[in-house]
Chains A and B, each alone.
Chain A
Amino acid sequence: MGLIRLREDTFRHHLCGEGVVAMNEEITRLDSPIDVMCLIHRAMAAYAATVEREATRIEVRGSLQPFRSAFNEWASALLHLSEVEVELLTTSLRRCLPGGELGEQIERQMRAVAPSGTDEEGQAEQQVMKTMAAYSEEEHRELVEKLQDVLEVLDGEIGRQSVIDRTRQHLYVRVLALRVAQDDHIENERAFVLPLLRRAIGEPEQLDMARRLLIDEGSESPDWILQWVARKLGPGERGVLADLEARIRKPPLSAA
C-alpha cells in the first residue's frame, strides 16, 4: 500500500480562556487556575501528533517498539486524565446544570453576559452550552473506547516477529480516529465546559481541581502527569505551569 501521509503542521486552532489561541501561539498566562486545562490540552495534542507520526513510520517487516513506546506514553496519561476529568468535571458540571445546586446561579450569570440578541437566542445558547457540557462524559467514554481499539491491534501483534502491512494500516487509522476524537473533545471542553466551570467554581476549588489533574497522589511518582505535560511545553509555558504548581502545592491557610 502506498505511503500514508502525515501533515507536519496541521491546521488547528484552540480556544483558551475567553479568546482563541492558535496552536503555534504561546499561552502566556492563566486567567483562572482551571485554564491549566489549556496547557494539558497542548500536551495531549503534541503527544497525539507524535504517535500519529510514529504510525506512519512503522515499516513492513519492522518493529513496533518505537510506536508502542510513543503510544503508551500518550495513552497512559490520556486514560488517567479521562478518569480524573470524569470524576472532577462531571461532578462540578452537574452542579452547574439545571436542577444542580448552582444551576440557577449559572442561568443568571449566562443571561447577564449573553451577547445582545433576543431572550430566546440567549436561552438557546444556554441550552446548547449545557448540552455540550453534559456530553463531556460521553466523550471521555469514546476516547477510552478508541484507545482500546488501538490496543486491540497491538495486542494482536504480540508474538509476531515483524509487522505486516495490514497491521500498519489498521494502527494508523485507529490512531487517527483517536486523535480526531481527542481534538473534538479538547475543542468542546474549551468552548463549553471551561466557561461554565469558570463561572461556577471559585478559585480555591479550581486550584484543587488543578492539583488533582496534575498530581497523581495514588502513584509512586505523583508528579508524573505534571512532568508529562511540561515535556511538551515551550519554556514560557513551562514557567506558567510552574507558577501554578507553586500555588497548588501551597498549603491551605488554616482557619483562624
Chain B
Amino acid sequence: MTQEITRLDSPIDVMYLMHEAFEAASARTEALAAEGEKGGDLKDFEESFGFWVKQLLYHATTEDTYMTDPLTDSQPARDNEAEHAELARQGGELIEFLDKGDSAGLEENVSAAIFALEEQQHKELVEKAQEVEQVLRKMMGEERVLTRTRRHLYRRVMALRVLEFDHFENEEAFVLPLVRESMTEHEMLAVAKHLLLDEGADDPRWIIDWVASELQPVQRKLLSDLEARFSEVPA
C-alpha cells in the first residue's frame, strides 16, 4: 500500500489509489483527534471525520454490491464483507460517541460501573444512570470530564484507523488477485466506475474528485486515464 503506484495493470488496481486517498483522509482525522486531546473545539475534527466515514461507508457498500458479491464460493470475499461490516459498526459507534458530546467518555465509565455492581445495587442505579453522570460531572469537574472524553475519542479514532489499514492490506493481498482472475476487463472497469462515480448523488463526482485531490500528479493522471475509459462501460 505504501509503494508508489506508477501504472494500473488492470482497472481494479485503481483500488490502490483509492486506498492511498483513504489513508490521507484518516491520517488527517487522526491528527485532529490528537489535537483535540489538548482541548478546544472539535469542529474541524468533526468535519474531517464525517467526510472520512461517509467515503468509507459508500466505498464498503459499493464493494459489497459490485465487487465481492459476484465472487461466489470465496472465503476471502466473505471475509472482506465481514470486515466492511465491522468498519461500519465501529464507525457508527464513533458517531454515536460524538453525538453524546463532552461527557461521552464519562458515560462509558458510568455504564461500566453500574454494570459491575451487584444485582441489587445495579437495579437501583440503572434507572438513575443520568443522575449518576450528573453527580460525577460535578465531583470530577468539567475539565476532567472533557479530557476523559477527548482521550477516549482519540483511542476510538486510532482503533478505526488500524481496522481500516488491516482491511485494505487484506483486500489488496487476498481479494484483488481473485477479482483480476475472475472478472473481465470490462467487468473490472464497471466496478471501478461504481466505486468512483455515484450516479445517484447530486454531485456524482464527489468521490473521484476527492480521490484525485489526495494524489500526486502521476497518480492523478492514472486516475483520469482510467476515467476516460468509463465510456466503454455500458450505462
Contacts and interface: CB of A to CB of B under 8 A. Distances in A.
A7 B152 CA distance: 15
B169 A166 contact: yes
B235 interface: no
Contacts of B114: 131
A47 interface: no
B62 interface: no
B12 to A, nearest CB: 22
B136 A128 contact: yes
B112 A135 contact: yes
B34 A1 contact: no
B140 A134 contact: no
A205 interface: no
B139 A135 contact: no
A191 B23 CA distance: 39
Contact of A187 (B135, B144, B161): B144
Contacts of A6: 34
Contact of A131 (B105, B132, B144): B132
Given A5-B30, A125-B135, A176 B38 contact: no
Interface stretch (A78-86, A167-175, A210-218, A237-245): A167-175
Contacts of B148: 183-184, 187
B81 to A, nearest CB: 20
Interface stretch (A8-16, A26-34, A219-227): A8-16
Contact of A176 (B125, B136, B155): B155
B162 interface: yes
Interface in A86-143: 124-125, 127-129, 131-132, 134-135, 137-138
Interface in A146-174: 165-166, 169-170, 172-173
Contacts of B113: 131-132, 134-135, 138
Contact of A13 (B1, B38, B147, B159): B147
B117 interface: yes
Contact of B131 (A124, A138, A173): A124
B78 interface: no
A177 interface: yes
B131 A7 contact: no
A132 B34 contact: no
B178 interface: no
Contact of A1 (B140, B151, B165): B165
A1 B37 contact: no
Contacts of A5: 30-31, 34
A138 B111 CA distance: 12
A13 B144 contact: yes
B116 A135 contact: yes
Interface in B143-182: 143-144, 147-148, 150-152, 154-155, 158-159, 161-162, 165-166, 169
B125 A131 contact: yes
A12 B30 CA distance: 19
B109 interface: yes
Contacts of B27: 2-3
Given A131-B114, A187-B144, A10 B38 contact: yes
B72 interface: no
Contacts of A7: 34-35, 37-38
Contacts of B169: 165-166
A134 B112 CA distance: 11
Interface of B: 1-2, 23-24, 27, 30-31, 34-35, 37-39, 105, 109, 112-114, 116-117, 121, 125, 128, 131-132, 135-136, 138-141, 143-144, 147-148, 150-152, 154-155, 158-159, 161-162, 165-166, 169
Interface of A: 1-7, 10-13, 15, 20, 124-125, 127-129, 131-132, 134-135, 137-138, 165-166, 169-170, 172-173, 176-177, 180, 183-184, 187-188, 191-192
18 contacts: A10-B37, A11-B38, A11-B147, A124-B128, A124-B132, A125-B138, A131-B113, A131-B121, A135-B109, A135-B117, A165-B2, A165-B169, A169-B162, A173-B158, A180-B152, A184-B109, A184-B148, A188-B109
